[in-house]
Amino acid sequence: MLFLELALIRWIGANDVYVAFLANLVLLASFLGIGIGFLRVGRRPELLPWAPVFLGLLIAFLLLFPVRLQTVRGPDAWQGALGMAALPRWLSLAVVFLLTVSVMACIGHGVGTVFKRFVPLEAYRLDILGSIAGVVAFTLLSFLRLPPIAWGSIAAVLLFGLIGRRWQALALIAVVALLGAETFFPNEHWSPYYKITAVYSPTKHVMGRTTHDVLKIWANNIPHQTAYPVSALRWFEPFYFYPYRHVQRQSLNDVLIVGAGTGNDVAVALSEGAKRVDAVEIDPEIQALGRQFHPDHPYQDPRVHVHIDDGRAYIQDATRHYDLILFALPDSLTLIAGQGNLRLENYLFTVESMQKVKSLLKQGGTFAMYNYYQSFLLDRYAGTLNKVYGQPPCVEVGQGDAIRRQAVLTEGAGATRNCATTWSATGAVPESPTDDHPFPYLRTRSIAPFYWQTLLLMLFASILLVGGAGGGMASFRGMRRYVDLAFMGAAFLLLETKNVVQFALLFGTTWLVNSLVFAGVLLSVYAAIEVARHVRLPRPWVLYVALLGSLALTWSIHPAGLLTLSPVPRFLAAVLLAFAPIFLANLVFAQRFRDTASSTTAFAANLLGAMVGGMLEYLALITGYRALLLVVAGLYGLAFLTRPKVAAPVETAAGRTVEVPAAAPS
């Protein structure tokens, strides 16, 4: 179940650009579907055999109606298959949402049916063990950079083993065939982050002139990078060379390039006389394509040292000092799995990141960053640099339109060297992003109408689907006994979100860090279950006090303090602060869940609460991530206040119920 959920999050985002703007759509749909499946346990028809059918429909829909970003300007920006116009955003997202709910509801029904054979904690224990196996398997596939045919084959084998020789199993052949066809599309590669489409052209005409050996890359159906020879860059993209107007060539000994990509910036640095280049690129496949196909072969130069790492993580742990540091077009539109609006590069642009960069400059060193900026974004970054360096940056503006303009911002000693135009604000300068509120692309602290309107529609659809597919009003009445578990689900999802983004800050926004956090969360849950199964737990209020105390401790220690530690102490402190609340939260959950009369209804309530928690994580766009801990504490407080106070019937392995006091000892 979890393996397929992770695969769908990754695969759907790679084929439908619309999903990039609502990163946790698939996550929320999965929680809803699994919850509906659990609510339908004991009802006919059996849903699990239909999982391959809905999975095939979902894959076929996205292959027939993908969404690509063709251009950042103009009315025809969004494109579908074969050059046709893309479906409207509302229609594409609605179909993806409903089909994902259907797939996960079928699997959830199968899991819930087995769930009921065991006493609640034993069922939950087995579920967590399976979830750990799912995370490990998907992490291994990401490490090996295997394409979707591998993901689909694993899912197909598992589903066939579960449903056997039924006619619906024929849909598994279609699933594997469709993913196989996509996998063998020409020029496609799969990295741990993107579906990468790479097109190599021996010759290309640009602005009326001909250049040779051009490599163009799309990432998740978004135009991403084009590798040109330095000779071509000089005449049609001269902004690559602007930073070198502000440096002393004879002292260009050490250059750091963050966002090295396919190698344009590295090739330019070498052509300008750099003696050593540290090239940082987060995506190994993009760097490998640049090494193979860039016409100037910059990555094969012995002066270049490649670091496959998150830019902020590399900067945070760097000890070398540099004559020139470049932020080279870092703009991904790719978000870490299902967590708010945190892009891969967001932590690069915070005040704290810029302060660390300043500390890595040699005496007389220069910092520069360039991209295509909207006017508010240019002012935001320039204002941040002004705050950090105590002087306005030099700004050089190039090509663009009414929405985005090419610009280079230069700071440090180079800001006053050969600078024709110094930045000055034309109006109110937007607030600088921080490590707690790392959203540079958000104009103001607010939840955009697209987000809250879509979330409200999803909530309304969820009520209808739970009421209809889950068994009508009886399903809501059944879950009423477990409203405290719903609050726990919402709180736990927010707690997990906080941990994912905090580890991204402390150790890098990479696929491996993300996977390790998920695995760590599940191991903490498993440890709590084992303790609850074998140790006599204290009364509920004692556990709640301990949980709220751990949340207060975590809130009181600012991440900036952890960033000052060396990597090993930082890791130990981060693990303690992150997983102690998770462990205690699951002791609370396990104690309560053990005493439920219907484990499937209780688990469904918890999952649907987690879905609401996924919606609440958008509050971080207003409050920042640290304040989510206050929301978590409030939700656990509500869980304590709504917990049952009277005797409850408890489900046994034999399917009978017995009466025990609420929160009975183990």
Using alpha carbons only, how large is the chain's radius of gyration in Å?
26
Evaluate whether residue 36 is within a structural domain. yes
pLDDT of residue 664 exceeding 60, the answer is no
Evaluate whether residue 370 is within a structural domain. yes
Evaluate whether residue 261 is within a structural domain. yes
Predicted pLDDT at 651 = 47
Closest CA to 398 of 590, 171, 241, 596: 241
How sure is the predictor about 655, in pLDDT bands with cuts at 50, 70 and 90? very low
* Region of residue 204 (phi > 0: left; psi between -120 and 50: alpha; otherwise: beta): beta
Evaluate whether residue 438 is within a structural domain. no
Evaluate whether residue 580 is within a structural domain. no
* From 60-74, 154-168, 465-479, the region with the lowest mean pLDDT: 465-479
Closest CA to 310 of 356, 346, 270, 360: 346
The domain boundary residue, chosen from 393, 416, 439: 416
What is the tens place of the pLDDT at every residue in 436-477? 999 998 889 998 888 889 889 999 999 888 888 766 677 777
* Residue whose entry in the numeric block shows the structure tokens 């979890």: 2
The total domain count for the chain is 2
Q: Are residues 165 and 252 in the same domain?
A: no
Q: Are residues 171 and 271 in the same domain?
A: no
The CATH number for 385's domain is 3.40.50.150
Q: Are residues 175 and 236 in the same domain?
A: no
User: Encoding tokens for residue 513?
Assistant: 């860090």
Task: Please name the residue ranges forming H helices in 508-539.
Answer: 511-534
Evaluate whether residue 281 is within a structural domain. yes
Evaluate whether residue 407 is within a structural domain. yes
What is the tens place of the pLDDT at every residue in 478-511? 788 999 999 999 999 999 999 989 999 999 888 8
Q: Are residues 169 and 230 in the same domain?
A: no
What is the tens place of the pLDDT at every residue in 242-298? 999 999 878 899 999 999 999 999 999 999 999 999 999 999 999 999 999 999 999
User: Encoding tokens for residue 293?
Assistant: 């196909």
Q: Are residues 203 and 62 in the same domain?
A: no
Q: Are residues 318 and 272 in the same domain?
A: yes
pLDDT: is 60 or 658 the higher one?
60
Q: Are residues 174 and 300 in the same domain?
A: no
Taking each helix axis from N to C end, the angle separating 89-115 and 25-39, rounded to the nearest 10 degrees, works out to 40
Q: Are residues 73 and 203 in the same domain?
A: no
pTM score of the predicted model:
0.89
pLDDT of residue 663 exceeding 50, the answer is no
Q: Are residues 89 and 230 in the same domain?
A: no
Evaluate whether residue 404 is within a structural domain. yes
CB-CB contact of 402 with 352 (8 Å): no
Instruction: Calculate mean pLDDT across residues 606-618.
Output: 93
What is the tens place of the pLDDT at every residue in 375-411? 899 999 999 999 999 999 999 988 766 577 889 999 9
Q: Are residues 301 and 231 in the same domain?
A: yes
Task: Tell me the pLDDT of the chain averaged across its residues.
Answer: 89
What is the tens place of the pLDDT at every residue in 24-57? 899 999 999 999 999 999 888 899 999 999 999 9
Establish whether the linkage from the previous residue to 45 is cis, with ω within 30° of 0.
yes
By residue range, what is the domain housing residue 220? 195-331+351-416
Helix (H, G, I), strand (E, B) or coil at 614: helix
Q: Are residues 175 and 237 in the same domain?
A: no
pLDDT: is 589 or 213 the higher one?
589
Q: Are residues 4 and 19 in the same domain?
A: yes
